[in-house]
Chain A
């Protein structure tokens, strides 16, 4: 059994402008000790989905199942969920101040959290807080527990938030764009820290990001979302080297690092759809170069042939849409060779 298994999750909000269908029929799972990357642009529903699972979307209409460790999180009471959220699912966000209260000392906040959930004495909890801060790479952790969040730098606050999320030894860490507000060198520090902690404690991580580069180095599986739906879900290398959804391929192609200096960038034309009354069928249809009549019907997220590991895509024409830059072409070819006979379903010219 998987650690977290989400099935057919649907989330919508009523707003005066209409019903926002933020997440539509999303299914995915994470195993113990694994990292799942969820990649999507703004409005893709990636944050809404995970926040719903953690019970942070009050006022939304929710359906589906999210079974964590044998229990459905979506049917839990608010009280129970809060318990799970602190103790068994740790959360970190883009803005550390969403978990660190600005008016209380960092150490005090961690101690309170520990004491709320465990039988530890104040002294023991204090020792644990110092240990946690040391573990996430904060120098002089003992003194730092007496600081207020504003006395920490951005990267340091992120570390403190990670320490807090890990305080109760959760099995799952949900990281919602944890490095987006940080500079690249600090981002590298935080990503390295997360990988180290995962190795040491075998914690499962769901990493939500808009940046394909962030999860390329650390995710086991990657889920690509668009307009509230799962577009593609595959092993990391499968996804990057053999994308089977035009949207994933388009995203990879839009990245400036890919392609030659002499060429213009290769954007996806058009705009993401409105989630109020989204287009019928595949939401990517209006921007897709391979659109056909069948696309007015939503393709299911299904396993395609030829992958080394299970590779799921929600496209009626799951061709191999590479066309990625030459620098990685060799690796891609090597990867495709390893797959021996990659059967390209459909007759599309998009692949190589």
Chain B
């Protein structure tokens, strides 16, 4: 049973003076506390295991190709039937073959590489840019804030697919262009969240204390404020990764991502469009993995948020 807010307040009041609960001489950092909570969260563990397995898939893709004996882009004549249709799952092709006679099983493994690479790298870039821009806008304020905030507003209001189509038609599709596009369209959301956090943190007395000690803006931004937004940022990043993966898949689906014949989940789903009625495995196999990966990241993100902000779960009486 969950309890009303007044109750959690009461509990807080009741345990307020308990600050000196015996803990060792070494205090546990908020990170350690969050890690403790995360370790006891079954959903988080399951999600993490799923992610690790898919990472292993990506790493082991060449090995798998060797074992199976099928290259990711090799077209096998026995992969299509006499009438030219792809053959279904069998001992030869575990996940079936596609319309060109390529091994879907091996391609799913190789596709994991692109998805993870695009998802993680683009998210990291977006988070880094978002944090720096958010910090600058939030802490420096005034004209810096106006310029950066308006810029982020513009980015957020741009139709990203049209922009991507236009960009790709100029510079040509490639993995790095995909990553750049994803990062560019994702950083603004992070930047806004960080800016809002920084704005409220700047009003806190510990920031005033640092200023009264003579700390400069760089020190305040990175020593005093950044550690306090990091938890939020990490939560946001774990939710950004699946979005970026889907984004990459979308780009590949429209042929704006990685150039064929490189296997990507999005590209495979796109290719399956014309065949799924006769070859369901072409659609289902990459989709299942895409779903698993994004779901795992999303659930992990939720758990991380709960771990950092235990209020959601803490006062739930049994």
Interface set of A (CB-CB < 8 Å, partner B): 13-17, 20, 22, 41-43, 45, 47-48, 51, 56-60, 98, 228, 271-276
In the complex with contacts A13-B317, A14-B318, A43-B6 CB distance below 8 A? no
Determine if B17 and A272 form an interchain contact, defined as CB atoms under 8 angstroms apart. yes
Task: Collect the chain B residues with CB atoms within 8 Å of residue A98's CB.
Answer: 6
Quick one: which of B203-239 are within 8 Å of A by CB?
none
Contact of A58 among B3, B19, B20 (CB under 8 A): B3
Quick one: which of B163-204 are within 8 Å of A by CB?
none
Task: Collect the chain A residues with CB atoms within 8 Å of residue B3's CB.
Answer: 58-59
Give min CB distance, B297 to chain A, whole Å. Answer: 26
B143 touches A (CB below 8 Å): no
Chain-A contact segment, one of B8-16, B62-70, B102-110, B270-278: B8-16
Quick one: which of B267-318 are within 8 Å of A by CB?
310, 313-315, 317-318
Determine if B13 and A47 form an interchain contact, defined as CB atoms under 8 angstroms apart. yes
Interface set of B (CB-CB < 8 Å, partner A): 1, 3-4, 6-7, 10-11, 13-21, 310, 313-315, 317-318
Task: Collect the chain B residues with CB atoms within 8 Å of residue A273's CB.
Answer: 17
Determine if B21 and A17 form an interchain contact, defined as CB atoms under 8 angstroms apart. yes
Give min CB distance, A172 to chain B, whole Å. Answer: 19
Determine if B318 and A17 form an interchain contact, defined as CB atoms under 8 angstroms apart. no
Give min CB distance, A82 to chain B, whole Å. Answer: 13
Bound-state CA distance A298–B15 (Å) is: 21
Determine if B10 and A57 form an interchain contact, defined as CB atoms under 8 angstroms apart. yes
Closest to A15 in B: B11
Determine if A275 and B10 form an interchain contact, defined as CB atoms under 8 angstroms apart. no
Contact of B18 among A16, A45, A228, A274 (CB under 8 A): A274
Determine if A59 and B13 form an interchain contact, defined as CB atoms under 8 angstroms apart. no
Bound-state CA distance A48–B7 (Å) is: 9
**9 A-B residue pairs with CB within 8 Å:** A13-B315, A43-B16, A43-B17, A51-B6, A59-B317, A273-B17, A274-B18, A274-B20, A276-B18
Task: Collect the chain B residues with CB atoms within 8 Å of residue A275's CB.
Answer: 14-15, 17-18
Bound-state CA distance A278–B270 (Å) is: 65
Task: Collect the chain B residues with CB atoms within 8 Å of residue A271's CB.
Answer: 17, 19-20
Give min CB distance, A136 to chain B, whole Å. Answer: 24
Bound-state CA distance A255–B11 (Å) is: 27
Determine if A48 and B4 form an interchain contact, defined as CB atoms under 8 angstroms apart. no
